[in-house]
Amino acid sequence: MAALRAQGALRMGGSLGLSVAGAESNVAIGLARLGHRVRWAGRVGADELGALVLRTLRAEGVDISHAATDDTGRPTGLLLTEPRLGTLTRVSYYRAGSAGSALTPADVLPALAPGTRVLHITGITPALGSSAAKTVLAAATTARETGVTVCLDVNHRSRLWTADNARTALRPLLAHTDLLIASEDELPLVQERPDAEESEAARDLVAAGITEVVVKRGARGATVFSADGATHRAARQVDAVDLVGAGDAFVAGYLSGLLDGANVLERLHRAVTTAAFAVATRGDWEGLPTREELGLFDEPDGTTVR
């Protein structure tokens, strides 16, 4: 979708910056910058905002050959962001009836070509409508049946749907999920026993067939639960500028490590590093690092790279 970013409260007017946003797009760009081959499957409107989305993805090295343009008049989705208090940002969505809400299996399944290693999906797409929800389930089912690793980031958006509706749509996806990613407050949406303690809930999910459960803890890092136990990694210390997109940057780093064959601790290290880049810069994806830049956090403060 397109994103309009305000410098202050929207009700006060002023200028807006135009860019592109979307959890899956952020992850795709993050992985492409880290040197991986990535394709994006989705639907945009036959409008200038849709052209901006496709142009941005293409410019970032993402394969958009499976992107569909809606020819029925549905517009490209839109969000507005406004800073309200420090790093607290308020987001308003305009996605009802958007092109993305009409996503179909025919739009997505051809992207699961031979050689595909990972399918990344989020809990945002099913929130857009019944067609989009059915498409996500069809993609996850097909990917799992063909040996593709399925990564599901819960990514709950309370302004798009209720917790009960999210739970109803997301729980069936778990049977086709290999890697589950959720923040601490999102995990109850997918666990079998909503009142279970976190480690118990993670063990239940692993016992049900999920290989890894990754719990994002923001400034406190992240924990991976698997059959081998729990592994924790602290966050990288950085002055926070903009928290929007940090979770997607984390996912891009974690999947990058997975694709490189790194172990869990190495994956977490890359994930918290890419997340730190996102937090330290404005925008959802603009500050994400290339592979060559991953080592910049290990340079002393005040270093000038010449």
**Residue 73, helix vs strand vs coil:** coil
Bridge-based pairing state of the strands 222-226 and 212-216: antiparallel
- 233 with 265: CB under 8 angstroms? yes
β-strand partners of 4: 18, 80
Residues recorded for the chain: 306
Annotated active-site residue 70? The verdict is: no
Task: Catalytic residue, from 248, 260, 284, 298: name it.
Answer: 248
H helices of the chain, in order, are 23-33, 48-59, 105-108, 130-145, 163-170, 198-207, 246-259, 264-279
* Residues in contact with 31: Cβ distance below 8 Å, sequence separation at least 6, in sequence order: 38, 252, 255, 256, 259
- 173 with 137: CB under 8 angstroms? yes
Known catalytic residues are 248
